[in-house]
Every structure is written in C-alpha cells, then in structure tokens.
Amino acid sequence: MIYPTPKQMKTIEENSDKNGVSYRALMENAGEALTMLIYKIGGETDISSGVVFICGSGNNGGDGFVSARLLAEGGVPVTVVLACGDPSTELAAVEYCELSGAGSIDVLNLNDNIEKVFSRFSEAAVIVDCVFGTGFHGFLPPQIKACFSFAERCGAIKIAADVPSGGDCLRGTVSEGTMKCAYTVTFGYKKVGMLMQPLEEYCGKIIAADIGFTEKCVHGLDYLPTLFTEKDASEMLPKRAKNAHKGDFGRLLNIAGSARMSGAAALSTKAALRSGAGLVTLASTETVISRIAGAMPEAMYLPLEADAKNSDIILKECENKNAVSVGCGLSVTENTKTIVEKVIKNSACPIILDADGINCIADNIDIIRDAKAELIITPHAGELARLAGISPAEAAADRLTLAVNLAREYGITVVAKGVPTFVAGHGKVYVIPAGNPGLSRGGSGDVLTGIIAAFCAQGLAPLDAAALGVFVHGAAADLAAEKLSMTGMLPSDVIENLPFVFKAWNR
C-alpha cells in the first residue's frame, strides 16, 4: 500500500492524463465517490434537510461541484458555497457551469451571503469541505476559518473531499481553524501526512476511493512511501535451517558505552543477542564491561582503554565481522570522533550509526561519502536537525523529506525515528507506524540499534534490516505495553518481549 506525497500525487495525476484517464475523468470519478459516501450516510441518517458544499476556487472545489450536481439530480437539496470566489481553474469552471442544468442548486458566495450561508449550515444534514486539496500548506484565510468555526458547531455530519482543508498531506500538521471531519474521502491513495497526528485525527474515518489510477501512473516514482506490514516482516525474518550453526547468523561488533552510559552498551548488545545474531562482541572500556558482563554471558568482549587511541584495535576486530554498530552511549570526544571516522572509512561490512555515532560526524557529515561499505543511520528529530543544520522543530516537522534527501545525497539508509518511522534508502521509503508512546524514554533507541545490527549481521540488505528492525522493535514494544502499560514499561522489557514476536512467526 502506497502513501504518496503531494508532489508525487501531482505526478500521478499527470501520468494518468497521459495514459488514458484524463483530468476531467478523474474529477468526475472523485465527485462520484464523494456522492456515494453521502448516499451511504443517507441510508443511516435523514439527509432530506440538505447537503452544503463549501467549495474553493481550485480543483478540490471542482470535485465538490460534481458531487453537488449528482445529488441534485437525485433530488437531494443542495447548497454550494463559493468560499474563495469564482472557479480559477479550467476544470473547476467547466464543472461549475454544469451546475446550472442540474435542477435546484442554491449557489451562495460566502462573502456576500454570510447570514444565509450560516443558516444553511444550521439546517444541513451534511456539510462537505471542498476548499483546499492535498497541495495545501500554510495558513487558512480568516474568512475560511470563520466559516469552518461556525460549521463545526452545527449538528451536521462533516465530510472532507480528499483532505480536511488546512491539513498538510506531507507533514501531517493542520493549520489553525481546520475543521474536524467524521469522514474523509481521499482520492486514489491515502496521503502520507494522513498517517501522522494531528491530521489523522482531523480526517476521521478515511476512505480511499478508486478514481481510475493504474499501475502505469506510479511507475518510475522513486522514494514512494510504502507501508511496511507484518506480512513483510514475517517473510523477511531469516529462517533457521535444522543444521544451522552460530556462524550462519553473523558476527556483530558493537562499539558502545562510556563511563556515564554503560546501560546503552548493555541494551544494544542484549537486543542484538535476542534478535538472532550468531556472535556479538561488545567493544567498550573495561569499566563498562565489568559492569555488564556478568548479566550477559552470551556476549564476547573487546576491552578498550578509556580516552586512548583504540581505533587500530577496533579496525582489526572489524576484519572478520558481518556488521558493525557504532554510537550507543559512546560519548562525543576527539577520540570517539576518530574511531567513528576510521570505522566509516575502513570497515568492509555494513555499519549502523546511532546516537553519539551520529553526533560524532554532525559537524562533518561529508565523511560518510568516504564510506567503504553500506551505512545505516538512525537519527531522531534532534539528530536529524544537527545533520541538516536546522532547528529540531523544523526537523520534526518534515522528517520524511530530510530522510529522503540524506538517503539520496549520500547513498545511505536513513531511519528517521518518530510516529511513524520512515526508512529511506536506494530509491525506496518504508512507512512503519509501529510502537507506542511507551518507547518515549532513554534507551529505546539503543534497543532498536541492536535489533537492526543483528539483522544486518545475519545478511539482510541494509534497507531491509532497518525496516524489519523498526517493525520488530515496535511489535515487541506493543507486547510490553499490553503486559506492563506504556507508563510502566522499560526498554529492557522490549528486549524481553522480542522472543514472543519471533515465536508468533514460528521462527
């Protein structure tokens, strides 16, 4: 299932027009889909008091004109409110002219007939928002905000055509004054912003209507957001042959931990062990190792000297590994920056860069252009901000675009953590709405890094390992929350529930 961005939707519509389903046909089909929903509501609620369409001047308004005409032809009382004046696009103008032959449709201009418009809102059974489409971003005009404010207080059922006007279909935000709807009929595909809060809540029940797009319309689009499902995850998880041995499931080197953050080393190492890696070696200081080794006899350990130049020792250890993870609780010093840089430039196996591993390169991100092997980075919004040189608020507002830009620019896999998490790389984007707010605590990212690194070590391609890791991490978190509550669960509880995720998939 795909979730296009607004820009991608524009391309899909252009491709449709070139491949036999014209813009006009798409608009007619969209209006019919909207009409079908209204009639369905009419089967459950009396709509004889009328339907009011609030129409903008663009093609979203044109979709509303089509539906208004069809309902009027069926004998339903219809009022069309021109919220932004006369139609401004050729298609919308054509459909507007068609209203004149459709029977009794009352057309009102919002600015000229405000009292009459509000009276119709009060009487209506259904109010349909057809003002702005999926390309909207910015702020709603004052007259639209006032219109929606009054409509929202009325008892009518509210429906949005394609998206509630004011909703940003890329970022999932809503402009002040956006009207909450009970239903949204979105045309062709759900848009990626509809997976995010608060837009998802404002949409109500989302119905994706087929309006004629074919596979040709999406052919060739890169980084098209695609939902990563449990079926994808269960099929991707490595199988274990009856004659398998530990060497078949990879050798992982985890470079993690510092005096203040030994827990990060423990969590990432144990998560990797629980996720099926054959042999896991933790490279850390003797202080860290002495704290955690007794609780993890399954791991191997590479003692390092604190604040010393350990890069040669680490590079030697990398030589026989299938994956290397770097950064969990590592701290940012000149020595750790040197280690991270040398691992990136010299490791021949995939590298998973997290937390302080990312922070170590934030002021010199071009280092990753020199990577010898595939690279996965797992930034949260704050780390994305440092990599992009923007504020955390800006990064949080558009993680998808930042992830795609980094993946495209540097040829890496980017795990942009959040709700949902986006995994971008090699022309693909996976959307993974996994996990719950119980993960909002220190240590959760360390667990995720260990899981992804384990799958990399077992031979999965970096993009697949990252997507599977995010999904498994979320699924285990959901089990932990079910047993312990989101408030009471800990990252260590997520690790303890990993076996139950794999057991459900018979692995």
- In the three-class reduction of DSSP (H, G, I as helix; E, B as strand; rest coil), residue 332 is classed as coil
Specify if 235 maps to a domain.
no
pLDDT exceeds 90 at position 188 = yes
- For residue 92, which phi and psi values (nearest 5 degrees)? -65, -40
Residue among 56, 65, 80, 79 nearest 35 (CA) = 65
Closest alpha carbon to 179 in 157, 207, 149, 138? 149
Report which of 233, 221, 232, 227 is spatially closest to residue 195, judged by C-alpha positions.
227
Q: What is the pTM of this model?
A: 0.93
How confident is residue 327, by pLDDT bands cut at 50, 70 and 90? very high
Domain containing 196 — which CATH number?
3.40.50.10260
Q: What is the DSSP string of 430-469?
A: EEE----GGG-STTHHHHHHHHHHHHHHTT--HHHHHHHH
Q: For residue range 367-400, what is the model confidence (pLDDT) as tens digits?
A: 999 999 999 999 999 999 999 999 999 999 999 9
Residues 195, 299, single domain; the answer is: no
- Give the pLDDT mean for 131-153: 95
Q: Are residues 57 and 182 in the same domain?
A: yes
CA gap 85, 237 in Å, rounded = 56
Type of residue found at 504: A
* Residue 478 in domain: no
Instruction: Tell whether 213 and 245 lie within a shared domain.
Output: no
Give the alpha-carbon dihedral of 30, 35, 41, 42, to 10 degrees: 180
Q: Which of 487, 388, 488, 498 minimizes the C-alpha distance to 450?
A: 498
Whether residues 152 and 285 fall in one domain? no
Strands (E), 77-176: 78-82, 105-109, 126-130, 157-161
How far is residue 109's CA from residue 356's CA, in Å, rounded to a whole number?
A: 58
Residue 41 covered by a domain = yes
The residues facing 65 across adjacent strands are: none
Residue 341 has pLDDT above 90, yes or no: yes
Q: Alpha carbon of 275 to those of 4, 12, 350, 454, 501: distances in Å?
A: 32, 39, 17, 6, 10
499 within a domain of the structure (yes/no): no
The reply to whether 492 falls in a domain is no
My answer on whether 270 and 397 are in the same domain is: yes
Do 300 and 414 sit in the same domain of this protein?
A: yes
Q: Are strands 157-161 and 251-255 parallel, antiparallel or unpaired?
A: unpaired
Q: Are strands 126-130 and 157-161 parallel, antiparallel or unpaired?
A: parallel
Same domain for 132 and 86, yes or no, is yes
CA distance 15 to 18: 5
Place of tokens 């929606």: 148
pLDDT given for residue 44 in this prediction: 81
Of the candidates 217, 250, 275, which is a domain's last residue?
217
Q: Are residues 301 and 191 in the same domain?
A: no
SS (H, E, C) 371-387: CCCCEEECCCHHHHHHH
The verdict on residue 148 lying in a domain is yes
Pick 308 or 162 by higher pLDDT.
Answer: 162
* Boundary-marking domain end, from 184, 217, 250: 217
Q: State what percent of residues in the chain have pLDDT above 90.
A: 94
- CB-based burial, 468-477: b 16+ in 10 Å, e otherwise: bbbbbbbbbb
Within a domain: 121:
yes
279 in helix, strand or coil?
A: strand
Task: Write the DSSP symbol of residue 239.
Answer: P
Classify residue 425: in a domain, yes or no.
no
- Phi, psi for 87 (deg, rounded to 5): -55, 140
Q: What is the pLDDT of residues 275-310, one digit of tens each?
A: 999 999 999 999 999 999 999 999 999 999 877 678
Look at strands 421-425 and 428-432 and give their pairing: antiparallel
Q: pLDDT tens across 60-101, in order?
A: 999 999 999 999 999 999 999 999 999 999 999 999 999 987
Q: How many domains does the chain have?
A: 2
Percent of the chain with pLDDT over 70: 100
Which token pair is 181? 């709807």
Banded pLDDT at 104 (limits 50, 70, 90)? confident
| pLDDT value at 430 more than 90 | yes
* Res 418 pLDDT > 80: yes
Cα separation, 485 vs 478, whole angstroms: 9
Note the pLDDT of residue 42.
Answer: 75
Does 194 share its domain with 315?
no
What beta strand segments (E) does 32-151 contain?
A: 51-55, 78-82, 105-109, 126-130
- Do residues 43 and 150 share a domain? yes
Q: Under DSSP, is residue 337 helix (H, G, I), strand (E, B) or coil?
A: helix
Structural domain boundaries enclosing 403: 241-418+438-460
User: What is the predicted pLDDT for the residue at 253?
Assistant: 98
Residues in the chain, total: 507
SS3 197: coil
Do both 164 and 59 map to the same domain? yes
Judge if 206 and 284 occupy the same domain: no
Q: What is the CATH number of the domain that holds 442?
A: 3.40.1190.20
The pLDDT tens digits of the residues spanning 212-222 come to: 999 999 999 99
- What residues pair up with 428 in beta bridges, in sequence order? 224, 425
Joined tokens for residue 368: 């990753």
Q: Which burial class, exposed, middle or buried, applies to 78 when counting CB atoms under 10 A from its CB (0-12, 13-18, 19+)? A: buried
